Structure 1
Amino acid sequence: MPRTSERGGPQTRARILEVANRLFLERGYEAVTVAEVAREAGVSSVTVFNHFARKEDLFLDRAADAADLLRAAVRDHAPGIDVLTSLQDMTFRLSDERAPLSGLSAHAIPFFRTVAGSPALIARARAIGSELQSALAEELTQDPAFDGDGGLLAAFFIAGYSAVLVETVSRRIDGEPDEAVAKDHRDRLGRLFTALRDGVVAR
């Protein structure tokens, strides 16, 4: 297969991601090597690692998007809107849009089945959760409008959102109707934020 230009920037990255995701979903994460992804994408393995720090990031590629959403919820909330409400609005928006990070997208089931079948992806997902918690805690401590315990709120939020996400995906994998799962997903998010406001932020 002829090699494509390896200086394509975002286009090269997108091509690598498309190939990697297709191969991982078809054959399982553990059965595919980086060299195979590179060959199929028409680039070198070095180019793959220029775009992705580790193999796991070829599949769990939305960590940066999640971190950006958390930072924006803290930095960009409107005057008169507290941080917790901003975070809640962000999670509700993901739910309503059935975005990939909500677990409600059309591609969520095969994606999470692949993650569940790979110890390496499970470990990386847990590490990403820890990284997101640290990023949120850092933003909260720098927000002059927030006077609560940023580290504690970040820990509870990430753990709570992860619990809602896992339950949502598990129910969809089990074949429950999407509309019912989506409604319960949003309801559980509401209960999460009620608990956070009453149990973590309230003084």
Structure 2
Amino acid sequence: MGLRELKKEQTRTLIADTAWRLFADRGFDAVRVAEIAREARVSEATVFNYFPRKEDLLYSRLEDFGERLVAAVDSRPAGESVLDAVRNFLTRSSGILAQLEAGDHEALVRLRTVSRMIADSPALRAREQQAIAGTTAALAARLTAETGDGGESADSGAPAVDITAYVAANALMGVHRALIDHVRRRVLADEAPDRLAADVRAYGAQAFALLAQGLAEYGIR
């Protein structure tokens, strides 16, 4: 990464971190973009250059997560199915759930704050679904390219997404959506946060075992 690219990435991270801190303190709807810009010591135009919509300030990290998920599928070793690649990615011990499991109280505070913020904001919930849908579409397109089953769109001439790939991507991402909803419900209800990471792994394993009955042979490289 060159110096210019590094500086841009640092600015983007600074803006996102500043926004998360202000959102956590006062709630998403109460914070204006101009305040984020002032706190980060950049112009409002700079904020919008990096994050075209206010919701993007919160969900850029979710989209980064989606990109890493698709990359994990793309880089899976020979003999590994798509189901195994997604399962391994989603159920590994990392991120904020791993911090909770280690007894990090600050991680619990952050997770509760963000969960309440999203639960209280229709705009954020809609943006979350958009981010997940984008990851689902990217995964379906990648699987179509890999299997070579998509053909060509009759309308645009662009590569068409194979229906089987689209169904598989939606089934796999459905587990992700279900686990997100489970975590949010548990966190907002203050239910046994010390067990949350272990329970998510267990429920994820159950969900993928169910899918394996129909997807076990799909997408083996």
| TM-score under structure 1 length normalisation | 0.85
Query: Match of 1:192?
Result: 207
Q: Percent identity?
A: 35
* Residues 73 and 90 in structure 1, CA contact (< 8 A), matched pair in contact too: yes
* Residues 19 and 58 in structure 2, CA contact (< 8 A), matched pair in contact too: yes
* Residues 97 and 197 in structure 2, CA contact (< 8 A), matched pair in contact too: no
Cα distance 1:126–1:133, how it changes in 2: closer, same or farther (>3 A)? same
Alpha-carbon distance in structure 2 between the residues aligned to 1:8 and 1:33? 25
Deviation at 1:187, TM superposition (A): 1.0
- 3-state SS of 2:60 partner: coil
Please give the per-residue CA displacement for 1:44-78, whole angstroms capped at 9, x wherever unaligned. 11100111121101111213322222222221111
* Residues 153 and 196 in structure 1, CA contact (< 8 A), matched pair in contact too: no
Alpha-carbon distance in structure 1 between the residues aligned to 2:179 and 2:189? 15
Query: Match of 2:111?
Result: 108
Please give the per-residue CA displacement for 1:155-181, whole angstroms capped at 9, x wherever unaligned. 112122111221122112222222322
Alpha-carbon distance in structure 2 between the residues aligned to 1:73 and 1:101? 19
Stretches of structure 1 that go unaligned for 5 or more consecutive residues are 1-6
Query: Match of 2:63?
Result: 64
Cα distance 1:70–1:148, how it changes in 2: closer, same or farther (>3 A)? farther
Query: Match of 1:23?
Result: 22
Length, aligned pairs only: 194
Alpha-carbon distance in structure 2 between the residues aligned to 1:8 and 1:15? 10
Query: Match of 1:3?
Result: none
Deviation at 1:101, TM superposition (A): 8.4
| TM-score under structure 2 length normalisation | 0.79
Q: Map of 1:9-158 to 2, 5 A cutoff? A: 9-93=8-92, 96-97=93-94, 99-100=95-96, 106=108, 107-144=110-147, 149-158=164-173
Of structures 1 and 2, the one with the larger relative CO (CA 8 A, separation 6+) is 2
Is 143-152 or 58-67 further displaced after alignment? 143-152
- The Cα RMSD (Å) is 2.6
Alpha-carbon distance in structure 2 between the residues aligned to 1:184 and 1:192? 12
Alpha-carbon distance in structure 1 between the residues aligned to 2:47 and 2:125? 21
Is 30-39 or 55-64 further displaced after alignment? 55-64
Stretches of structure 2 that go unaligned for 5 or more consecutive residues are 1-5, 101-106, 150-161
